[in-house]
Structure 1
Amino acid sequence: MADDIVAIAQGWIGTPYHHQASVRGVACDCLGLIRGIWRERHGSEPEAAPPYTPDWGEGGGEEMLLTAALRHLTPIDRNAGMKPGEVLLFRMRARAVAKHLGILSQAGEAPRFIHAYNAHGVIDSPLTTPWQTRIAARFRFP
């Protein structure tokens, strides 16, 4: 299962970034990438994504993305070793709401993740220490 999640995510690499979009090869944001993977694995999405701003409710402190992930994905224990295919949820600043997502594409000594990043589109990036310290939660697709 993890291999097919990574393969699906790799098929999105090069998709341009566009806020709230989710069309492989056309445009997506980080949530759009996860939504697209869900559709390819499970068919229709479990719920419609509500309109959202790029700050994900940061001003109000509402954990919109984390709450939705907990409704539809399976949480992974923080102490468990990381495995390809996991959904990574990031806090971009300490004590801020979680507002970025990616798929772990490679674990081990040189971990990598696939994510849609503003001005870069969907890319496969090194999961460097600064990124690792921002991981708020990890999930797997059901």
Structure 2
Amino acid sequence: MSGPGDEVVRAARAWIGTPYRHQASCRGAGADCLGLVRGVWREMRGAEPEAVPAYSFDWAEACGQERLWRAALRHFVPVEAGAEAPGHLLLFRMREGAVAKHLGFQAGCGEGASFIHAYSGHGVVESPLSAPWRRRIVARFAFPQGV
């Protein structure tokens, strides 16, 4: 059986091997973590729901604003913290006390859990959702249905 989450995973896996490029969102040419999400959105839903302003590597750390989290809340459906399913958008806080600024899509669940993300120095990869990564998850979201 295939559901919307499996479609998200298939779309995200098609980006694996794309080099890391800050602010880019072009499969095969370059993407950062937000660019991966933007590209999968376009492939699944069409036009992006809002323009993305230019952003620095440190995002909104200086002012402490959760800009990425607020944007995810505008366009995705929040999921309970304990829920886990393929295709969920994962939001990570890379350091305690810092703003959440990394994104990825859950691919595998359970013992072999993994996620697909664009990571500086690595490009778009599928990584194990290991304990250190799990500890950094601050929110989960699902693609909205029927958009």
TM class by shorter chain equals: over 0.9
Which residue of the partner structure matches residue 74 of structure 1?
77
**In the alignment, does 2:67 pair up with 1:53?**
no
Find the counterpart in structure 2 of residue 108 from structure 1.
110
Q: 1:131 Cα deviation (Å)?
A: 0.3
| CA positional deviation for 1:56 | 1.1
Q: Secondary structure at the match of 1:124?
A: strand
- Where structure 1 has 5 or more consecutive residues not aligned to the other structure, the ranges are none
Per-residue Cα deviation, 1:58-110 (whole angstroms, up to 9, x for no partner): 11101110010000000001132x11100000000112100000000100112
Aligned residues, how many? 141
Secondary structure at the residue paired with 1:103? strand
Amino acid at match of 1:111: A
2:39 to 36, 39, 49: 36
TM-score, reference length from structure 1: 0.98
Distance in structure 2 (CA, Å) of the matches to 1:62 and 1:125? 28
- Using the aligned pairs only, state the percent identity: 58
| Distance of 1:72 and 1:56 partners within structure 2 | 19
SS of 1:136's partner is: strand
Is structure 2 residue 120 aligned with structure 1 residue 122?
no
Once superposed, which parts of structure 1, at least 4 consecutive aligned residues long, lie more than 6 Å away?
none
Please give the secondary structure, in 1, of the residue aligned with 2:112: coil
| 1:140 counterpart = 2:142 | yes
TM-score, scaled to structure 2: 0.94
Gaps of 5+ in 2: none
Partner of 2:96: 94
CA drift of 1:54 comes to 1.0
Deviation (angstroms), 1:125:
0.3
Amino acid at match of 1:10: R
Q: Distance in 2 between matches of 1:59 and 1:92?
A: 15
In structure 2, C-alpha distance between the alignment counterparts of 1:11 and 1:97, rounded to whole Å: 29
Please report the RMSD computed on the Cα atoms of aligned residues, expressed in angstroms: 0.6
